[in-house]
Every structure is written in structure tokens, then in C-alpha cells.
Chains A and B, each alone.
Chain A
Amino acid sequence: MTPTLAALGGGFRAEIQQLRRSRLLVVLTVAEAVIFLVLVSIFGLTANHVPTAIVDSDGGHLSHQWAQDMSNTYHTYGVRYMDARSAQQALARGDVAAVLYLPANFSQRMAHHTMTRIHFHVDNVNADLANEVELGIPAAARTFAVHNHFPGIRVVSAESDLVRNEVGFVPYLVVSALALAAFVVAGTLAASAVAREYETRTLAYLKLSPTHPLIPLSGRLLATGAVSAVAVAVAALLVVAGYRVTPVHPLEMAAVLLLCVVIFSCIGACIGILVRRALPLSALIFGLALAFYLDSGSLEPARFYGNWLWGIAHTSPVYYAVGILQHAVHGLRVTPETIGVNFAVLIGWAVLAAVVAWLALRKAVVA
């Protein structure tokens, strides 16, 4: 074995031993990564199907159909049948966001095409939610009228969709979150490995290495990268098994997650050199991950944010990673750039991050 390989292997083994001694830290790092999955799931769960009570005083065929149309229209309402008293209590408690009162003669009036008043009480807890709840009503009314072939409807829309099998919001979000989980895990572990060298003042000893002083440190980063890859694989399996998301292109998914681990390990090493203390690293990287989240197309294609935010998105590797991940898992194209371009840019990012990390480490060790 050459001295270079021996030094690389030595650094690798030393870091693995270090991580084995700090199992709690590894567990906490993975827990921090999983936060993103939890975060986006909670966010996604409240984005649709706003709980809405229907007080059906009619009970006829058409009132049931109205409720069903409301329930089926664009994922807006999560319809629950209640009596008037329970509905009012639920609205006061905040268990439902709105109550719709279908009057006693609703079906008869609709059948006779008589104008009917429906009362709709909305909990305007915030402007966004109140607006969304109100905006769903014309759509439901129109669907009901079109289904029943009411006369006088002069305009309808004929919709064609870009994607045949529409992806749910939560499955979309958790796939994007995998790139950020990779950032949190790989970034934190690599940054901690470098910062520890400063804190324990062992960086100077690297100069005594019979090979290039950065080789043992590279071995350590390889070890953190390997552990990160396993942690990200666990998160990916959680997405596949827990959220029942089956990747369309599993190899593509594995490749992009591995690339993310490489890039974020190098970025983490640079952060470790800058901060030189392990204490604030996890919080700092968590905060940075949120900044990446802002503008990576994690909620919807970033292009729709407008030119300014879309331009900024290009400065983040997460943008390209999310683009590839959505294609690999759901078969979606969420960036104007092709998958080939996204991969090329990510590889460029990996090379750039590795070079910058190498130069920064060299400067740190020599200094």
C-alpha cells in the first residue's frame, strides 16, 4: 500500500472511530435531516382539503351532490357533515375553517331552478386561508351547475394537463426535501470533522504526515461522506416506504443524492474552516438549508417565482438537485433546463466545491 493510500485509509478509520464514539451526534444529525421531511409534510398537509362543515338541512340527492362537488373540486375542501350546533361549536373551536348551510328545500329549489341563498361562515384566521376557502366556492358552484346541465351557462373551460398523473403536494415536497436533508447531514458532519481539528489543535500535526498533509483530512471527509450517504439513503427509504413514493428512475435518484453528498461535504468543510468551532455549526447549516429551501423550487417550479428569484435560484446547487430529483422520482420536469444540463451543472458544482475546499484546507493547514 502506498503512503498516500495508507494516510487516506488512516484518516477514514480515525473519523469512523470518532463517529462511533459520538453516536448521539450522528443520531441528532440524522434527526435534524428528518426535520425537513416532517416540516414539509406538516406544511403540505394543511395546504389542501381545508376542513369545512356542511350542515345539510335538506338531505336530498342534489344537496349530496353539491357536497360531493365541493369535496372533489381542486382539493380545496375536506368536507365533514355536521348538525348546525356541532358545526358552530367546531367553527368556534377552530376545528373547521368554514361552515356551509344548505337550506331545507335546496334540492327542490335547484330542481325547479329557483334561486337559492346559501350561507357560508368562514373563520378568517388569516387572509390567505379565508381567500382560499372563498375562492373554492365559485368553482364548486360551477361544477355543480355544469354536472346538472343547468341552462344559461355560456362559458366553460376545457382543460388539458401537462402531466398525466398529477403528483400530490406532500409527495412532491418530501422529494425536494431529500436534497436539503443531504445538505444538513453531509454539511454538518464534514464541517464538524474540520472544526474539531481546530478545536483540538491537531491541524498542525498534519504537517508531520509523510504524505501530503491534506490526505489524512481527505480520508476523514470521505468517512463523513460515507456516513452521510448512508443517512441520506435512510431518509430516501423513509420517503419511498413511508410516503409510498416509487421512483421512476431509481439510479438517477441515487446518483443525484450521491452528488449532493459530495458537494455538501465539500461546502461543509469550507464552513468548518470559516467557523472553526463545532458549537454553532448545526444551527448555522440548518439556517443555510432554510435559505436554500426558499429558492430551490421545493414547493413548485422555481421558474414561476419570477425572473429575479429564479435568477438567484441558479446560484444554489439545490435548485439543480431538486430538478433532477423530481424527474427521477415523479418523472416531472420542474426546471426549464434539461436533466442533462442539470447533471452537468451539479458535476461542475462538485468539482468547484472540491477545488475550493482543497484550496481552503491547504491554506488552513499551511497557515
Chain B
Amino acid sequence: MISGPARGLRQTWTLAAHDVRQWWRAPWAIAAALIPPVALGLLAYVLTFNLGHQPIALVQESHGRYADHIAGIFHAQSGDLYSLTSTDKANATRLFDSQQVAAVVVIPPGFDAAAARCPALQPDQIIHDYTYARSGCPAAKLLVTVDNANSNFAGEIRRALSETVGFFDAPDVVTPVSETQLDMSDLNPYRVNVMTALTRANTVDYIHYAVIPCLVLLILSVGVMGTALLCARDIERGTARHLALAPASSVVLVAGRLLGGVLVSLLVVVPVLAIGTLTGLISPPPGHWPALVLLFLATAICAAGLGAVIGATMRGARAVSMAAAVICTYLFFLGGGFTTIQFLPSWLRHITTFVPTRYAIDGLRQSLFYPGMYGFGADMRVLLGTAVVVVVAGGVFVRRAWSR
């Protein structure tokens, strides 16, 4: 004899397992759910190859001591700040015109003479007023031509070139606070030594930072679309009425539908996590796995609840799949999946406060990348609260849709 709660659980599980089988037999539904997160992950991955390596041509028309020194700095910093091509002026112009380089730097013939005219700094020199050096010696000029197609791209080139040019006069203008190297400040004409201290113990590379959050989109997309399509299909085929007449409580039936949605998400995410862990792409600090599992589970429950709301309120599988794709993508972007939310303008940050995916992505990054769990508790509270709200709302909408 099976007790009431046990029977309820079995019925819930039966419906959930049935839903998972239904979803598994719909390859196009699976494709529709998988394509956006996979494409976005790929997009973020390829974007990382393009970060901070603009092609630059260097033309050295002077070959004295100072010209060779600054050319050496350019070569030494090539690869880190830009990719460098050393060439003559005619070829550099050709490369620039055909957009094979984004900037041309010319060390002009008089460079050495001009640099030699300016004496190196003396430690006891004092500036008495701000116009002190207006009559001083004019510095040697590097001639730079920049393709400033947009401000971001041009800024990247200018920052990189500025670092190189600055290195000539002041190699130690920025020093990591951890370094105890010899202070060469007497030679630094900028008269500042900026000591940088990083606030986190480890720095995450951009590939991991940008690609890993696509896991949240994956759970969201599969959970929302899976649950929504199962709800929409029941309504389209008229099987929803059969469910309403079934000799089981509506709580059990709705729970079965939502559990099906959660299982569908987990069915996709677990193998991805396994592959990511085996390949080393996903390697959380020790002890963070329970937090990660909790986070994925809460996100999957939110996705199932949201999917139930969409599936029960919209008509037609096409509309449901489109709405699910649009909503998931907006939630992902506004949640900071493609950027760092904190650095958005304040009005946009206020909007994202109400986007639950923000907390999922924050929590995911915190538990995966950083040794501490700073803010994870708050993230989980919001996420679990959202899960409760959308599950209740989803249940109400689904039950109403079945009764229509």
C-alpha cells in the first residue's frame, strides 16, 4: 500500500519523466534551445583573440643610439601591446592604406639629435612655476598616424603607443606594489611612481570570464524553452484537458511539469559541466562545488517557472520558441553575461537590479573564479526568492491554462 505523499511523489516523477522523454524526441526543440548559447559562447571566445593586439607599422629613419633604443622598446613590447611590422615608409603607407596596419609610427631622421639636445633629468631640479619649461628644449617627436575608425579602437592604439613612448623616459612610472625593485625615480621626468595593488588574489583571463557565463544562458534557454514548449504542446494538442481531469492533485501535476523542465536543463548542463571539468575549463576552488550545484539548481528552477508562464500564456509553438529565445537573450545580456554590470551607467545598473540572471552570473563568477564567496549568499537569496515567485506564478498560469 503506497501512502499519499509517496503516491504524489511517484505521480510527479512519472509526469516529469514523460516530459523529459517528450523533449528528448524533439530534436528541433533541442536545437532551438542550444543554438543561442552555443553561438554566444563562440562569439565571446573569438572576441578574446582580438583583444589588445592591433597591427602597427614601425618605420625607423634614424639609426642612432636613441632611435635604436626606442625601436628596441617597440620590439620588446610587440606581442603584449600590439603586433609590430618593421618596414620602410613607402611600404608602411601601402599597409596603412590597405588597412593591414592600424597605425604607422615613424622615428624621423632628426630623432637622435633632438633627443640628445634634451638633457636627462637632474634630481635637484625644481619647478618654480608651471610655465617653467616653456622655453626649455623641445622633445624629440615620434610621428604617429592612427586609423581612428572609432574611439574605442583608436583609444586602444593610443594607450599602447603611450606606454611605449613613456617607457623611453620613465620605465618605472607604474610599479606593482609587490615588487621591491630598485627605485629609479631620479630618472623619471613624470615625477610620479604609481604603485598598483590588485584587490583579488588571482586574475581571471578574459576567455573564462566571458565564456563561462554562457552556462547560465544554456540552463536558462533549455529550461525556459523546454518547459514552455511542453506547456504549449499540451494546450495545442488538447492534452491539457486530460491532465486537468486526471485523478491527481493539481499541485502534483504542476510540480511534475516544472520538475520535467528542471530535469531537461540538468540533462544538458551536467554533461557540459563534466566535459568542462575533465578538460580543465571549469575548475572551481576547493569546496566550491556545492555552491555551484546549488546555483545551477536554483537557476534551472527559475528557468522552468518562467518557461511555464510563457508556455501557458502564449499560443503556438513558434511564438513560444521565439518569445523564449528573446526573453532568455535579454535576461542574459541585462544580467551581465557579456559585460561587467558594475561598470554600466547607473540608470542601467538600477534596471539590472531587477534581473535575476545578474545574481546567477555574479554567483557563478564568484564561486568559479575567486577563492572567497563574497556576495554569494546575497546572490543565492535573490535567486531562490525569484525561484519561489516564478514557480508559484508558473503553477498558477499552467493550472489555469489546463482548465480553459
A110 vs B125: C-alpha distance when bound (angstroms): 12
Contact check: which of A115, A280, A290 meets B191 at CB < 8 Å? A115
Q: Is A22 an interface residue (CB 8 A)?
A: yes
Q: Are B121 and A152 in contact (CB under 8 A)?
A: yes
Binding site for B on A (CB under 8 A): 22, 24-25, 28-29, 31-32, 35, 38-39, 42-48, 50-51, 73-76, 91, 93-97, 100, 109-132, 134-139, 141-142, 144-145, 148-163, 166-169, 172, 188, 192, 275, 277-284, 286-288, 290-291, 293-295, 299-301, 303-306, 326, 332, 334-336
A163 vs B154: C-alpha distance when bound (angstroms): 10
Contact status of A155 and B165, CB under 8 A, knowing A22-B319, A121-B199: yes
Contact check: which of A25, A96, A304 meets B55 at CB < 8 Å? A304
A304 vs B152: C-alpha distance when bound (angstroms): 14
The interface residues of chain B lying within 8 Å CB-to-CB of A130 are: 198, 203
Contact check: which of A97, A121, A152, A295 meets B169 at CB < 8 Å? A152
- Distance (whole angstroms) from the CB of A282 to the closest CB of chain B: 4
How many of B's residues come within 8 Å of A, CB to CB?
A: 122
Q: Are A154 and B168 in contact (CB under 8 A)?
A: yes
| B209-229 CB contacts (< 8 Å) to partner A | 209-210, 225, 229
Q: Is B63 an interface residue (CB 8 A)?
A: no
- Distance (whole angstroms) from the CB of B403 to the closest CB of chain A: 23
Minimal Cβ-Cβ distance residue in B for A118 = B194
Q: Are A284 and B155 in contact (CB under 8 A)?
A: no
A335 vs B203: C-alpha distance when bound (angstroms): 36
Q: Are B159 and A74 in contact (CB under 8 A)?
A: yes
Q: Is B288 an interface residue (CB 8 A)?
A: no
The interface residues of chain A lying within 8 Å CB-to-CB of B185 are: 115
The interface residues of chain B lying within 8 Å CB-to-CB of A332 are: 149
Binding site for A on B (CB under 8 A): 28-29, 31-33, 35-36, 38-40, 42-43, 46-47, 50-52, 54-55, 66, 70, 81, 98-102, 105, 115, 118-122, 125-128, 130-134, 136, 139-155, 158-163, 165-170, 173-174, 177, 185-200, 203-206, 209-210, 225, 229, 314, 316-319, 321-323, 325-326, 329-330, 333-334, 338-340, 342-345, 348
Contact check: which of B40, B120, B154, B197 meets A166 at CB < 8 Å? B154
Contact check: which of B148, B160, B344, B348 meets A135 at CB < 8 Å? B160
Minimal Cβ-Cβ distance residue in A for B147 = A162
Q: Are A154 and B152 in contact (CB under 8 A)?
A: no
Q: Are B206 and A127 in contact (CB under 8 A)?
A: yes
Contact check: which of A39, A139, A154, A192 meets B158 at CB < 8 Å? A139
